[in-house]
């Protein structure tokens, strides 16, 4: 006999829905009290919040400029972060200088907050180099394009910090789509197993190119981590204060030696996946409109205006600063030098490699023979 029994107990075994999003600033700019998270941002009001606001405005302005540069043929590609400013700025500013970052390709605001110089932000996208900066100069690895690969690097780095006896934390950024990759799940296993001081920061921007998050995850993404033994937080990714608070909380755990934490920042990709993408093929304009109403900058602006910290005058000065940054960014981008012909052979190895050395010499001789090297040719 094979009876069919109602599945109540199985359903009950699913975890209950996660706590509502952590939110400290609602879309209208009202400050929402939260006894757990408020203390993490008690230093951020008035002028401090105004500086945060300026960062948000500036990174959006850079992003818009980069898109324009791409349209003008000055960049090969650009992955806009429009709509994700709060998730990136809020989390980046929570970090200590010695904390190390392993990001994906869209975290240009994180890099900006980290002090990466403006033209270095676009070297990869202009195509003059495979990376823009020295990771050790800003404690941030250069963009990772292979989805999810960087999350394992973060775990290794974090375990290395613990071996070194320092309380440095590591944070890794990735998208909702990335949560499907084996590497990201392995990273959670390894992080939990070694109690690694690492923060998994997932920007759930609802899309992986054209694929909605529902294809990657049947449950809120934040629910995945606890099953690996990693506590998680689900935060309004368009609320810069909430993101700052949540990330500080997670980093505190890491600095204290309490192991990994997973953060899902719920946000929305307001632009195309990259400048090559055509979202009109798959995005419902209504959905986009709904999210436009939750804009991460508008709510800070509303809040600051209500608080009388932001006036038309300060707003104009912030906008002017942003324009200046954008102009410097553009100029720096256009001034980036093109790679020299033989540079393709540089840095393949750290130590001499006889095979490659021979190939390089051959190519050098060839280039000289056709007059394409200075001092060249018979």
Partner 1 sequence: MTELTLAKAVNSGLRRALADDDRVVLLGEDIGPLGGVFRVTDGLQRDFGTDRVMDMPLAESGIIGMAVGLAYRGFRPVCEIQFDGFIYPAFDQIVAQVAKLHYRTRGAVRMPITIRVPFGGGIGAVEHHSESPEAYFAHTAGLRVVTCSTPQDAHTMIRQAIACDDPVLFFEPKRRYWTKGEVDEDADFPFDRARVLLEGADVTIVAYGPLVATAIDAAIAAGDEGTSVEVIDLRSLSPLDLDTVEASVRKTGRLVITHEAAQFGGLGAEIAASITDRCFLYLEAAPARVTGFDTPYPSARAEEHFLPDLDRILDAVDRVLGRQNALTGWSAS
Ligand X SMILES: Cc1ncc(C[n+]2csc(CCOP(=O)(O)OP(=O)(O)O)c2C)c(N)n1
- Binding to partner 1, residues 63-92 (CB under 8 A): 76-77
With beta carbons less than 8 A apart as the criterion, state whether 191 and 224 touch: no
Radius of gyration of the chain (CA): 23
Residue 229 CB, shortest distance to its own copies, in Å, is: 3
Catalytic residue flag (residue 268) = no
Q: For residues 91 and 33, what is the distance between their CA atoms, to the nearest angstrom?
A: 20
Tell me 136's DSSP state.
H
Query: Is residue 7 exposed (0-12), middle (13-18) or buried (19+ Cβ within 10 Å)?
Result: exposed
Taking every pair of Cα atoms in the chain, the longest distance, rounded to a whole number of angstroms, is 92
Number of other residues whose CB lies within 10 A of the CB of residue 159:
19
Catalytic residue, chosen from 30, 71, 219, 282, is 282
**Interface mask (CB under 5 A) for Mg ion, residues 192-231, using x and -?**
-------------x-xx-----------------------
Which does residue 205 touch among Mg ion, its own copies, partner 1, none (CB within 5 to 8 A, set by kind)? Mg ion
Of residues 225, 226, 246, the one with CA closest to residue 235 = 246
Q: Does 146 bind ligand X (CB under 6 A)?
A: yes
Catalytic residue flag (residue 269) = yes
Q: Does 231 bind its own copies (CB under 8 A)?
A: yes
Residues between 269 and 288 with contacts to ligand X, criterion CB under 6 A: 269, 273
Of residues 264, 249, 157, the one with CA closest to residue 206 = 264
Residues between 5 and 24 with contacts to its own copies, criterion CB under 8 A: 5, 7, 9-11, 13-15, 18-19
Query: With respect to ligand X, which residue has the nearer C-beta, 146 or 316?
Result: 146
Catalytic residue, chosen from 114, 273, 303, 330, is 273
Q: What stretch of H or E contains 190?
A: helix 182-194
With beta carbons less than 8 A apart as the criterion, state whether 156 and 141 touch: no
Residues between 198 and 237 with contacts to ligand X, criterion CB under 6 A: 205, 207-209
Kindly state the tokens that stand for 40: 């993490």
Q: For residues 82 and 67, what is the distance between their CA atoms, to the nearest angstrom?
A: 10
> CB under 8 A: which stretch of 14-22, 80-88, 89-97, 211-219 binds partner 1?
211-219
Catalytic residue flag (residue 282) = yes
Residues between 142 and 201 with contacts to its own copies, criterion CB under 8 A: 179-183, 185-186, 189, 192-193
- Contact positions vs ligand X (CB under 6 A): 106, 145-147, 174-178, 205, 207-209, 269, 273
> Catalytic residue numbers?
269, 273, 282
């Amino acid at each position: 006999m094979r009876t069919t029994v109602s599945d109540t107990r199985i359903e009950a075994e699913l975890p209950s829905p996660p706590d509502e999003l952590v939110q400290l600033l609602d879309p209208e700019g009202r400050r929402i009290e939260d006894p757990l998270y408020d203390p993490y941002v008690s230093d951020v009001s008035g002028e401090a919040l105004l500086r945060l606001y300026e960062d948000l405005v500036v990174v959006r302005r850079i992003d818009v400029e980069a898109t324009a540069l791409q349209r003008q043929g000055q960049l090969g590609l650009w992955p806009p972060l429009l709509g994700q400013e709060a998730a990136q700025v809020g989390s980046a500013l929570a970090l200590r200088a010695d904390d190390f970052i392993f990001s994906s390709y869209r975290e240009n605001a994180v890099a900006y907050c980290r002090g990466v110089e403006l033209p270095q932000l676009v070297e990869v996208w202009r195509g003059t180099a495979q990376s823009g900066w020295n990771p050790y100069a800003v404690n941030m690895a250069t963009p990772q394009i292979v989805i999810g690969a960087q999350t394992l690097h973060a775990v290794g780095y974090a375990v290395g910090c613990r071996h070194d006896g320092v309380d440095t934390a590591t944070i890794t950024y990735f998208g909702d789509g990335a949560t499907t990759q084996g590497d990201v799940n392995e990273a959670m296993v390894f992080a939990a197993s070694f109690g690694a001081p690492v923060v998994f920061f997932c920007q759930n921007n609802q899309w992986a190119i054209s694929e909605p998050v529902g294809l990657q995850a049947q449950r809120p993404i934040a629910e995945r981590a606890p099953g690996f033994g990693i506590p998680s937080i689900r935060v309004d990714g368009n609320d810069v204060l909430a993101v700052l608070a949540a990330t500080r909380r997670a980093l505190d755990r890491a600095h204290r030696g309490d192991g990994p934490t997973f953060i899902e920042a719920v946000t929305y990709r307001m632009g195309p996946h990259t400048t090559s993408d055509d979202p009109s093929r798959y995005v419902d304009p209504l959905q986009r409109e709904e999210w436009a109403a939750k804009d991460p900058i508008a709510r800070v602006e509303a809040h600051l205006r209500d608080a009388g910290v932001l006036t038309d005058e300060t707003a104009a000065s912030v906008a002017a600063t942003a324009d200046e940054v954008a102009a410097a960014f553009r100029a720096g981008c256009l001034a980036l030098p093109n790679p020299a012909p033989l540079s393709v052979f540089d840095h393949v190895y750290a130590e001499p490699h006889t095979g490659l050395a021979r190939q390089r010499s051959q190519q050098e001789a060839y280039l000289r023979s056709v007059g394409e090297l200075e001092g060249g040719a018979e």
